Amino acid sequence: MIVDLRRLGEVQHLMGADASQILEGLLDSMRGAIDRIERALAGDDLPEAASAAHVCRNDGLIVGASELLAVLQTVEQAARRGELATAQMALATLREVWGGTREALERALGTTP
């Protein structure tokens, strides 16, 4: 399972907010964080990569994106340890997993077929 939208329902219940608004916000935040990771690793900015991965992990937890969380954890930990090559290698996997996760979230929003 790429995402667990039941988690989003739990957040909606607790916050009393519209699920689609929450999901749109999370999707936008995750897109931005993934972009930050890519730019940071391209520029050898490990603190920025770690920060962006952490932000994205927080968002991913809400929708139960377990595969994405695992890859983000690898990126974050490698960046915090100063292991640029490891973080950059994980980026290829991150791109792949993010693609599937993003599509699942967009389908949930009704923005893709």
pLDDT in tens, 56-76: 999 999 888 999 999 999 999
CA 106 to centroid of chain Cα atoms? 13
Quote the percentage of the chain above a pLDDT of 90.
65
Is 24's pLDDT higher than 60?
yes
CA 31 to centroid of chain Cα atoms? 7
Average confidence (pLDDT) over 23-48? 96
Please give the Cα distance from 89 to 85 (Å, whole number): 6
**Which pLDDT does position 15 carry in this prediction?**
65
Is 113's pLDDT higher than 60?
no
Is 36's pLDDT higher than 80?
yes
**Which pLDDT does position 112 carry in this prediction?**
62
Q: Which residues, 6 or more positions from 20, have their beta carbon under 8 angstroms from its beta carbon?
A: 109
Please give the Cα distance from 95 to 21 (Å, whole number): 24
Over the chain, what is the mean pLDDT? Answer: 89
Q: Is 76 exposed, middle or buried (0-12, 13-18, 19+ CB in 10 A)?
A: buried
| Range of weakest confidence among 17-26, 34-43, 68-77, 87-96 | 17-26
Residue for token digits 């699920």?
Answer: 19
> What is the CATH topology of the domain spanning 5-109?
Four Helix Bundle (Hemerythrin (Met), subunit A) (1.20.120)
**Which pLDDT does position 18 carry in this prediction?**
72
Q: pTM value?
A: 0.87
For the beta carbon of residue 84, count every other beta carbon within 10 angstroms. Answer: 15
Residue for token digits 């931005």?
Answer: 32
AA letter at 38: E
